[in-house]
Amino acid sequence: MHPSNHIRESKGTDLRGKRIVLGVTGSIAAVECVKLVRELIREGAQVCCVMTDAARTIIHPYALDFASGNQTITEITGMVEHVSLCGDVPDKADIYIISPATANTISKIATGIDDTPVTTFATTAMGSGVPIVIVPAMHKSMYQHPVVIDNIERLKSLGITFVGPNLQEGTAKIASMAQIVDEIVRTLDRRLANRKIIVVTGRSQEPMDSMRVITNRATGKSGIELARRAYRRGADVELWCGNVVCEIPDWIPCNYFDTMEDLMGLAEEVRGTLIVPAALSDFGLKEIDDNKIPSSEPLELTLEPLPKFIDVVKDRTDLLVAYKAADTRDEAVEKAEGMVTQGRADVVVANSIKDVRKGINRIYITRDGKWYEGRKRDIADRVLDNIEKP
């Protein structure tokens, strides 16, 4: 067994059974390809690599042989590799990725030129309907060339997906591995295509004085994972983030809020499916000191209830998924089912605070009346499975 199989599906099964062809061109970002191949295998994919001569001056084919467990294609031979993998054949590849893609290769593909193995594969894939994803990487001045811009737009109009680049330090840098993999899965998985989903995550905080706030321990990780999983399923996703302690994917549009007042200000923009795993403030101070309160004396605070966000926006949604935490599992189920009965939410995801553990969640979903336990990624999938149901 090739060592690449040791890591297969170690992250998940989103690409299980998928055959991916990766075209590598002569950008310095070719050094990232081994990482990309391994990430695709961790999601379950079988990967075969194709290289231009220019790419071979940057990274040796042996590196990609090792990463993928398949022999890298560096020339088109009598075995007609481009047709066998991307032609109009019964077992053709599921998707063709070009990462990194230079200005030269992009322009060749846009004008129908196929004088390298990578461009020949592109011509064949386009002619047989294999989806293509292109990940540009080059100097910023090259990326901003008017003809290159026109060629990118032309390819987009033909249905080709572009990922990135990130414009930093005078360079059009290759997109992150996470973004590339998300876009590949999204291209192949369209279960939630044309669905608008807003995920409200993180924690709100209410001011005490000019320095201090009242908040809670929520991290926002569950909501971030929900947004990414929905994005991978093809949904039109938007994040509304309070205070979070994890990285926010910059390829998903995001609005930010601190206080409940901030969040209520976004209420008019609610539409489609709304999922609210955020830990939102139930109380705020009746009076807020404009200065920093001295810490030398005992302090009494008067709190008053704040409006409930889900009650304000319920009638503006096509589907509202609320979250409810309680002290015990029985109480969590009772309160969750009560919220549905009262019409406050269409679906409620509930949990017992006692079940909260690092990395593992246990939740109850009212729509199917079941408990689930697993990683945040697995739990997010179970929630999304339920909202796919009519």
Long-range contacts, 139-144 (Cβ 8 Å, 24+): 139/170, 139/171, 139/172, 140/167, 140/170, 140/171, 140/172, 141/170, 142/103, 142/172, 143/103, 143/167, 143/172
Question: Is the sign of the CA dihedral 377, 378, 380, 384 positive or negative?
Answer: positive
Based on the fold, state whether residues 182 and 200 are members of the same structural domain: no
First to last CA, the chain: 43
Based on the fold, state whether residues 34 and 183 are members of the same structural domain: yes
Based on the fold, state whether residues 117 and 216 are members of the same structural domain: no
Based on the fold, state whether residues 184 and 200 are members of the same structural domain: no
Between 119 and 219, where is the model more confident?
A: 119
Between 350 and 299, where is the model more confident?
A: 350
Angle CA 129–237–179, to nearest 5: 60
d(Cα 304, Cα 296) in Å, to the nearest integer?
Answer: 25
What is the CATH number for 40?
Answer: 3.40.50.1950
Based on the fold, state whether residues 265 and 381 are members of the same structural domain: yes
Based on the fold, state whether residues 172 and 203 are members of the same structural domain: no
Based on the fold, state whether residues 19 and 116 are members of the same structural domain: yes
Residue finishing a domain among 188, 206, 234:
188
Average pLDDT of the chain is 94
Strands 132-136, 161-162: pairing kind: parallel
Residue 35, pLDDT score: 97
Task: Please check the confidence at residue 13 and state whether its pLDDT lies above 80.
Answer: yes
Angle CA 132–387–10, to nearest 5: 55
SS3 204: coil
Task: Please check the confidence at residue 388 and state whether its pLDDT lies above 90.
Answer: no
What is the CATH number for 341?
Answer: 3.40.50.10300
Residue 285, pLDDT score: 87
Residue finishing a domain among 135, 160, 188:
188
pLDDT digits (tens, 9 = 90+) for 31-49: 999 999 999 999 999 999 9
Residue finishing a domain among 128, 160, 188:
188
Based on the fold, state whether residues 22 and 63 are members of the same structural domain: yes
**Cβ atoms of 240 and 200 closer than 8 Å:** yes
Question: Is the sign of the CA dihedral 144, 149, 155, 156 positive or negative?
Answer: positive
pLDDT digits (tens, 9 = 90+) for 237-289: 999 999 898 889 999 999 999 999 999 999 999 999 999 999 999 999 887 87
Task: Please check the confidence at residue 390 and state whether its pLDDT lies above 70.
Answer: no
Structure tokens given for 228? 């990414």
Based on the fold, state whether residues 204 and 151 are members of the same structural domain: no
Residue span of the structural domain in which 330 resides: 196-388
Based on the fold, state whether residues 254 and 154 are members of the same structural domain: no
pLDDT digits (tens, 9 = 90+) for 150-180: 999 999 999 999 999 999 898 999 999 999 9
Based on the fold, state whether residues 200 and 157 are members of the same structural domain: no
Question: Has this prediction a pTM greater than 0.75?
Answer: yes
pLDDT digits (tens, 9 = 90+) for 223-241: 999 999 999 999 999 999 9
Measured torsion, CA atoms of residues 305, 309, 312, 316, in degrees rounded to the nearest 10: 180
Based on the fold, state whether residues 94 and 239 are members of the same structural domain: no
The tally of domains found in the chain comes to 2
**Cβ atoms of 309 and 268 closer than 8 Å:** no
